[in-house]
Amino acid sequence: MSIRAEKEAESTRDSSEYEKTETDKGNGGLEEEIETTRDKKPEIAQDDLGDDLERHLSRKSTRKQKLEPEKHPLMDLENSLVGWESQDDPINPRNLTEKRKWSILGGVSAITFLTPLSSSILGPAIPFLNEDFNNTSQILGSFTVSVFVLGFAVGPLFFSPLSEIFGRRIVLNVSNVIFCAFSLGCALAPNLNSLIVMRFLAGLGGSACLTIGAGVISDLFPIEQRGKAMAVYTLGVLFGPTIGPIIGGFIAQRAGWRWVFRVIFITGVLLSAAILALYPESNHVVLLDRKTARLRKELDRPELLNILTHKKDTNSLLRRNILLQGLIRPLRLLFTSPIVFLLSLYMSFVFGLLFLLFTTITQVYIKTYGWSPELCGLSFLGVGLGNFLGIMFVARTSDATIVRLTKRNNGVYEPEFRLPTCVFFGFLIPISFFWYGWTTYYHVHWVVPIIGLLPFGCGMMGIFAPIQTYLIDSFPQYAASAVAGLTAIRCLFGAVLPLAGPSMYEALGLGWGNSLLGFVACAMIPFPALIYKYGGVIRKKWPVNM
């Protein structure tokens, strides 16, 4: 065999192994990803499972005696393909130090905590805002809160595919500037109409981090670390809206509702500046695109192609067509994949319930228990504590669970292994709404409804984190787009469902109104179970054409 043929064969093997890892198919997917767990201390349960899996696979196959490290596509200039210099290439984001990876994720998670917090922080301030603007419409007052989430629904459809084409860093930084600018605009709004417009645009800018974070996790972390990474990231997404009303109530009553937005603006500027200074580009395709462009110029070889996208490059697609495909990808994933659609519908309903509480619980505690607006934010402590307990459980069990299930599956990893716990957490949602609805209806002591919302907060975390991690594992190269489709529909529910709250409670009362929501939540519990059982077959037999 000639030297050229040998290199071509080696490049083909590297590229195919990379694609197999990214699509999580076959025995190699998880084996290659969990190599790093073998040398850890034995007292860590997940690592013990990794060792057990290695011994199991070693007994099963005499040809492959040990787990191999993850393979990345390497340089093959003779075939005009540009890849990583070596498996340990420091430019590859997967080879960053653990401290560096977690610091990057921490920065993205911080801004992802702030923007969802901004979505709900205005809730307790609605009475003061209505008084200033002479507004008597409950629906319009609720819409002032939920219109921010409508911006969350629209923004990811653009920002996520743009981050996959032009890079995470530039898109995240531009969106942060938009968020900060229009948060200041909210503080200066002269009337209710302008405030609603500014809130929508601020939500639009603040939406990018909600889905780019999923892309960052896919860029930086191997499969066996993504559960823990997603738990940290999701903490901000769901814990932020819970903290928002607690802060907003005190600020609005003591300093005025405009200071709510001033605090958001100041904090947003500080976090955006830190991300601008510290966060590097992490998108593998974009990094190799830049390297390809540099080598084309330095070596005077215009025929060089990115090894990750060379099949697309050979089709001579125009840049505008690539951009168009990227922009419609989230919608294609959402509406052509029954997996993405069903899980998105489930998450969307639960997210809508959260914002229904944000827009109604203040009035419930004012009328039922005689609380002041600043104290009403404390009614979300039950949801917040539930969020914390739920995310702790997910962080400690998610990655260990997939290693154990992979062992039982003869060493073959499937993304569906993320979903079994969702069924258990799903039962907590209706329990909370039956509890909360009837205790407030019968004017039971104020602490009882707060405790009743604790299972809801726990259930939300136990549903959101595994589902988002499942989508990252199922569509690793397009993780941001997959989560964008999910985010769009759930934020649409978050914006619209609260508008039905006042009329529903007026017609059915707090008891039967919340029970109706609990019954719907019960009907959706089987969704993750169905995807767990049939999702792998659907993904493999009817893959989505990207």
For 298-357, write each residue's pLDDT tens digit: 888 888 888 877 665 444 444 556 567 666 777 787 788 888 888 889 988 998 898 888
Same domain, 349 and 295: no
How high is the pLDDT of residue 384? 83
**Burial grade of 445 (CB within 10 A; 0-12, 13-18, 19 or more):** exposed
Whether 294 is in a domain gets the answer yes
Same domain, 55 and 103: no
C-beta separation of 128 from 257 below 8 A: yes
Look at residue 54 and tell me whether its pLDDT is greater than 60.
no
Q: What count of residues does the chain have?
A: 546
pLDDT tier for residue 436 given thresholds of 50, 70 and 90: very high
**Long-range contacts from 130-134, C-beta under 8 angstroms, 24+ separation:** 132/257, 133/191, 133/192, 133/195
Cα torsion through 497, 503, 507, 510, rounded to 10? 60
Same domain, 502 and 461: yes
How high is the pLDDT of residue 312? 55
How high is the pLDDT of residue 471? 84
First to last CA, the chain: 37
Comparing 141 with 316, the larger pLDDT belongs to: 141
Cα torsion through 473, 477, 480, 481, rounded to 10? -100
Full residue range of the structural domain in which residue 38 is found: 21-69
Whether 211 is in a domain gets the answer yes
Same domain, 272 and 359: yes
How high is the pLDDT of residue 25? 40
Which of 97-101, 207-211, 280-284, 328-332 is the least confident region? 328-332
Same domain, 400 and 366: yes
Look at residue 184 and tell me whether its pLDDT is greater than 50.
yes
DSSP state of 69: P
Query: Stretch 499-507: mean pLDDT, rounded?
Result: 84
Whether 338 is in a domain gets the answer yes
Q: How far is CA 532 from CA 133, 305, 316, 415, 536, in A?
A: 50, 38, 39, 9, 8
Which of 30-34, 207-211, 484-488 has the largest mean confidence?
Answer: 207-211
Look at residue 469 and tell me whether its pLDDT is greater than 90.
no
Compute the distance between CA of residue 150 and CA of residue 174 in angstroms, rounded to an integer.
19
Same domain, 275 and 160: yes
pLDDT tier for residue 477 given thresholds of 50, 70 and 90: low
Compute the distance between CA of residue 539 and CA of residue 23 in angstroms, rounded to an integer.
10
pTM recorded for the entire structure: 0.68
Look at residue 18 and tell me whether its pLDDT is greater than 80.
no
Total of domains in the chain? 3
pLDDT tier for residue 200 given thresholds of 50, 70 and 90: very high
* H/E stretch holding 80: none
Whether 228 is in a domain gets the answer yes
Tokens 């941001």 correspond to 480
Same domain, 444 and 511: yes
Same domain, 336 and 353: yes
Closest-CA residue to 94 (of 110, 70, 75): 70
Same domain, 375 and 469: yes
**Burial grade of 140 (CB within 10 A; 0-12, 13-18, 19 or more):** middle
Query: Stretch 521-528: mean pLDDT, rounded?
Result: 92
The percentage of the chain sitting over the pLDDT mark of 70, rounded to a whole number, equals 82
Same domain, 59 and 124: no
Same domain, 492 and 530: yes
Same domain, 446 and 496: yes
**Burial grade of 193 (CB within 10 A; 0-12, 13-18, 19 or more):** exposed
